[in-house]
Amino acid sequence: MEEMKSSKKPIRWNVFIPCFIVIGGAAILGIVNNEWLTAVTNAIFSWSLSNFGWLYQIVAIVTLVLVALLAFSKIGNIRFGGAKAQAKYSFGSWFAMTLTGGIATGLITYGVNEVLIYFGNIYGELDGYGIEALSDEAAYFSMGRCFYNWTFIPYAMYALSGVVIAYMYFNRNKELSVSASLIPLFGDKVTTGFWKAIIDILSVLAIALGLASSLGAGLALIGTGLSAAYGIAQGPVVWFILTAIITATFTIASVTGIDKGIKWLAGLTSKIFYVLLIALIIIGPTVYILNMANVGLGYWLDRFWMWGFDPYTVGGEALVTWWTMYDWAIWIAYAPLMGIFFAMIAYGRTIRQFLIINWILPASFGFVWFSVWGGTALKWQIDGKADIITTIQNEGAVAGIWEFLQHIPLGFIIIPVIIVALIAAFSTTADTMSTTISALCTQGARHDEEPAIWQKIVWGVSIGLIACIMVAFGGGAQGVDGVKYLAACGGFVVLIIFILQVAAAIKVFFFDKETKKDIQEGTNER
């Protein structure tokens, strides 16, 4: 297998410098006056969701339908790189990198917590529908809503961005960038000058700030787990040690490249996820898990269109705005750069294979994960084996996972595995994104060339330091609230770019004559 070459191409300073200044400035402002930063960015983000929730929902549904059409029509026969292109990675390695590259710590964190928050109506999520907390219907709703928030719709966003970037790069010989995906709408002029820089700067900022806030929240989450399981008090020393471990892990993986570091770390992380799933299926309430998976899926599908188009008018702000719309904003903020990474490792695959690996399988994995972990948590809460709801009410939205794990059989084995999984999961996402950020800040970046090592180190260390300093100065997870909402505001801005990507995909795949030739070539290949 041919190894990737290290790139010696010049840096795009018009992207690198503005991004670095904004990210550093946000971190400094968060340290000096985090309450002000949080209040301002929260107000802006709340305004965007309240006034444009309808747009987020329409974009989400259109994206889902569009991705399905691409996957199951003749368009899916198109091969990235042409009919003779040979794939570099096995299906197993490919899926491991795409699954763990986009999953971060979300499934572990919310696979238990979100289900129980809905079930207990902790923040008023059930009020809009008049469902009684802790009732049977509350349980059905909890599973169905998590399937809605965490499966086929969000992964369609990543996949759509990736498929249009990959097609323009491999089949139209355009550059590997977010701006190049908009060529079907604006022509080659969008890949030069001011607009190219703006598009790429916004994409980098959204994901870099998002990673910093995710790492900060992850530090607090792991610190809470160490305290709950082993009595290790949270504090700056613990957070700095965790930051050093996580940052070193994902920076080294990024520096060693996709073929070595990222591929290896993704393989390890995915195996941990598989083991955790199998373990809980065996020791958990298996029949209840299967029953709730069925009922939850039916509950979601029965309400698919209402949930899909409700901007908060029916379900209420506590549920729709601060769960679903917030999730959509974050997924969309990440989508352009996740799309670049997915494109970088897709050479030689067909569009159909790409969408199976980047959309259908990750969404199905999310369905199984929430069925197993969320279903088990529901059963234990109902039976009184664990009081996860009270823990969340007293200690915060992400604390429930540790109450759950305190009661799990073989907890002395599973709890440290979970902590390792959290570190590995975030590290895998961070190393893919630090590589992608570095590529976007490099002139003429290619899928078979690694960005400069020093750039990967700078981005990796910067993200780690920002998260750690803000958590330490802010006294925990709330320390990164300002950066978190700033990243979410970035997601609102990136929404415009993402809508343009959707429009570009429609134009290039359904109305472009050259694409029709690629479709025919792919069909003949079969």
Closest by Cα among 123, 32, 41, 28 to 482: 41
Spell out a b/e string for 484-512, using b for 16 or more CB atoms within 10 Å of the CB, else e. Answer: bbbbbbbbbbbbebbbbbbebbbebbeee
* Res 2: pLDDT: 45
Count of beta carbons in the 10 Å neighbourhood of residue 109: 20
Q: Is 152 within 8 Å of 359 (Cβ atoms)?
A: yes
The residues that bridge with 5 in the sheet, in sequence order, are: 449
Please state, in angstroms and rounded to a whole number, the distance separating the CA atoms of residues 109 and 107. Answer: 6
Please write the tens of the pLDDT for every residue from 371-383.
Answer: 999 999 999 999 9
Q: What is the pTM of this model?
A: 0.92
Q: Helix, strand or coil for residue 45?
A: helix
Q: Is residue 7 over pLDDT 60?
A: no
Q: Return the percentage of the chain with pLDDT > 90, whole number.
A: 53
Q: Is residue 197 over pLDDT 80?
A: yes
Averaged pLDDT score across all residues of the chain? 89
* Burial bucket for residue 5 (CB in 10 Å: 0-12, 13-18, 19+): exposed
* Res 526: pLDDT: 64
Give, in order, the Cα–Cα distances in Å from 369 to each of 35, 113, 349, 365: 36, 13, 27, 6
pLDDT bracket for residue 1 (50, 70, 90): very low
Q: Is 7 within 8 Å of 452 (Cβ atoms)?
A: yes
Q: Is 453 within 8 Å of 272 (Cβ atoms)?
A: no
pLDDT bracket for residue 168 (50, 70, 90): very high
Locate the DSSP E strands across 118-215: none
* Res 365: pLDDT: 96
Closest by Cα among 228, 237, 271 to 416: 228
Count of beta carbons in the 10 Å neighbourhood of residue 212: 29
Please write the tens of the pLDDT for every residue from 91-150.
Answer: 999 999 999 887 767 888 899 999 999 999 999 999 999 999 999 999 999 999 999 999
Q: Is 249 within 8 Å of 427 (Cβ atoms)?
A: yes
Please state, in angstroms and rounded to a whole number, the distance separating the CA atoms of residues 113 and 389. Answer: 9
Domains of the chain, each with CATH number or no CATH: 5-66+73-525 (1.20.1740)
* Res 224: pLDDT: 83
* Res 93: pLDDT: 94
Q: Helix, strand or coil for residue 526?
A: coil
User: ∠ at Cα 369 (365, 371), nearest 5°?
Assistant: 115
Chain-centre distance of CA 148, in angstroms?
Answer: 15
The residues that bridge with 350 in the sheet, in sequence order, are: 79
Mean predicted confidence (pLDDT) in 50-59: 94
Identify the weakest region by mean pLDDT among 267-276, 366-375, 378-387, 446-455.
446-455
Q: Is residue 234 over pLDDT 90?
A: no
Please state, in angstroms and rounded to a whole number, the distance separating the CA atoms of residues 197 and 190. Answer: 9
pLDDT bracket for residue 356 (50, 70, 90): very high
Report the run of H or E that residue 208 belongs to, with start and end.
helix 193-230
Give me the long-range contacts of 34-40 (CB less than 8 A, separation at least 24).
34/470, 34/473, 34/474, 34/478, 34/479, 34/481, 34/482, 37/482, 37/483, 37/485, 37/486, 38/478, 38/481, 38/482, 38/485
The residues that bridge with 6 in the sheet, in sequence order, are: 450
Please state, in angstroms and rounded to a whole number, the distance separating the CA atoms of residues 11 and 142. Answer: 47
